[in-house]
Chains A and B, each alone.
Chain A
Amino acid sequence: MTLHLRWRKFVNLLMLGLTGVCVTVAVSALLIILGYLVIHGARSLNWNFFTKLPKPVGETGGGMANAIIGSAKLILLASCIGIPIGCIGGIYLAEFGGKTFSFLVRYTTDLLNGVPSIVIGIFAYTVVVLPMQHFSALAGGFALGIMMIPIAVRSTEEFLRAIPRSLREGSVALGASKWKTIVRVVVPAAIGGITTGIMLDIARVAGETAPLLFTAFSNRYWSPGWNQPTASLPVMIYTYAIAPYEDWHRQAWAAALVLLALVLLTNIVARLVLYSRRGSVSR
């Protein structure tokens, strides 16, 4: 009996230790990456990086101002495509969809989520680049927008489903139509979760390289408008990291740090805005 008890205590401790170790490994991977980025990136960061264009091959210095703006433009375009389609699709799945059709839609979005990003790139290449006959920010934004849809759909759906039925009934019983109930009660109640989901979605596509390689391509100069090939941070990181120049490697580190910081910043700002808007109503 005591032996059995001891064994149970041992297993308990063992499993506790194991979960602890796994958590430590998971967290430390992130911390190591972050630390490494900060150490290497911060050394090569300077004002020029944010304001100057890339220098021609062979010259040192210069910056990635065009890639920072380019990434911002691509993400903006992607958001314009991915967020509305994703959110409204998610509303459909959570509020209107029947059984079979919803199942099919859910299944396809999950499949789309699993499609390798390079394949999405080829798709955008065929659909946008080939007819237009040239690479463009538009094509890159389109590719990233497609990539955003599945997560936007599923996170919106999940957070809407978490809103209790009683809230919907309360609104409907006052004579609100279904759509009014969704817009005025259900979505506002879930907005925190939905925004978080979308932020994660943006963070995910912000770092995508493969779909941009043959859609937005790259550019060593400014690309005004939406119709020209444009530089972006991930593609710059890729190009600079595999180049044989020491200076380019350092700039790639800096670009990685800036990319990460920008994603974090958007995330924090969005949460702050959300918080201040809901401030008076928060629990």
Chain B
Amino acid sequence: MTSHVNPPVITTAARTNDPFAGAVLKDIANEQLRFHVAGLNFFYGAKQSLFDVNLEIPANCITALIGPSGCGKSTFLRTLNRMQETVRHTRVEGTVLLDGQDIFDMDVVRLRRRVGMVFQRPNPFPKSIFENVAYGLRINGFRGKLADRVEHSLHRAALWDEVKDVLHKSAYALSGGQQQRLCIARALAVDPEVLLLDEPCSALDPISTAKIEELMLQLRSACTVVIVTHNMQQAARVSDVAAFLLEGRVVECRPTAQLFTTPSDPRTEAYITGRFG
């Protein structure tokens, strides 16, 4: 496997022909672990939706969670920054360690600052573009040059050039893809170690999707990315590690290239070859 610090820009067209043509593979074995999940059970009321999930998420990699609808991949993602706590009647068992620390013992505000999240549909606040990015900084009592930090975050989200002249316009004036990158910039502003992406491209057109995928590859050097996706080509294109979930259980979690070429479980094979799901 080869390792590139700055992945070359690959066009979507080139990628779709062969999912691995331009895939940038990382030497996962050399990366330390960011998340260590052990024996995770998730209950919604009386219904259990995650069963004994054990998963290791390497730092500075892109980990993709794939699986059919309702398999629990979004639920799993949301436990990583304890977003499930905003929903009533949910219960979690097991341990989730972030850099060796149990997240359920952490202050939830501090945890969410370290573990940012981007949602399925762009959800900018009804504020100006600037205020959207500045929001996380303001509520966390950021002292320093707000404008510089906002600009930096917008640069990181590859949005600066498109919005630098309209920073004080409403975020709703942006296109869907721009809004989603704004949401990424908003999450990046507080400098998280981990970025959770919950099907970030499902509401976007292919061009916006390609931009966000390129963005993820660039972010990887400074950030651990976990992405839930329905799109297997996307998982194959961007991720270093992929986990296949089925009915609340992790069937298989391996380096992406292996998972897609030589799946060890027949269910994984059936899913990635499109026989169900």
Contact = CB atoms under 8 A, between A and B. Distances in A.
B125 A170 contact: yes
B78 to A, nearest CB: 9
B169 to A, nearest CB: 7
B71 to A, nearest CB: 21
Given A175-B139, A175-B190, A188 B127 contact: yes
A174 B112 contact: yes
A189 interface: yes
A177 interface: yes
Interface stretch (B14-22, B115-123, B240-248): B115-123
Contact of B170 (A171, A173, A180, A283): A283
Contacts of A176: 109, 135-136, 139
Nearest to A99: B88
5 contacts: A170-B123, A174-B113, A175-B109, A184-B139, A189-B126
B91 interface: no
Contact of B119 (A170, A180, A283): A170
Contact of A188 (B81, B110, B126, B169): B126
Given A175-B110, A175-B190, A283-B172, A169 B119 contact: yes
B112 A173 contact: yes
B136 A175 contact: yes
A185 B125 contact: yes
Interface string A156-191: 000000001011111111111100100011001100
Nearest to B127: A281
A167 B126 CA distance: 9
B119 A166 contact: yes
Contact of A172 (B110, B112, B126, B172): B112
Interface string A251-283: 000000000000000000000000000001111
B170 A175 contact: no
B168 interface: yes
A83 B140 CA distance: 30
Nearest to B111: A175
B166 to A, nearest CB: 11
B186 interface: yes
B187 interface: yes
A164 B113 contact: no
Given A173-B116, A174-B116, A280 B170 contact: yes
B218 interface: no
B83 A169 contact: yes
Contacts of B190: 174-175
A97 to B, nearest CB: 11
B86 interface: yes
Contacts of B173: 283
Contacts of B113: 174-175
Interface in B128-159: 128, 135-136, 138-140
A174 B123 contact: no
B135 A184 contact: yes
Given A280-B169, A282-B170, A172 B123 contact: no
A280 B123 contact: no
B128 A168 contact: no
Of all A-B residue pairs in the complex, the 8 with the closest CB atoms, nearest first, are A166-B123, A174-B136, A173-B117, A175-B112, A175-B113, A170-B123, A175-B109, A281-B170
Interface string B158-174: 00000000001110110
Interface in B180-197: 183, 186-187, 190
Contact of A173 (B124, B125, B169, B187): B187
A159 to B, nearest CB: 13
Best-surrounded residue of A173, A174, A184 (most CB of chain B within 10 A): A173
A174 B187 contact: yes
B126 A281 contact: yes
B125 A168 contact: no
B168 A280 contact: yes
Nearest to B85: A172
Contacts of A180: 139
Best-surrounded residue of A167, A172, A282 (most CB of chain B within 10 A): A172
A96 to B, nearest CB: 11
A95 to B, nearest CB: 11
Given A173-B112, A175-B136, 10 more contacts: A170-B123, A170-B183, A172-B83, A175-B190, A176-B139, A188-B126, A189-B126, A280-B169, A281-B126, A283-B170
A167 B140 CA distance: 18
A81 B228 CA distance: 49
B136 A164 contact: no
A157 B123 CA distance: 21
A21 B119 CA distance: 48
Contact of B123 (A167, A188, A281): A167
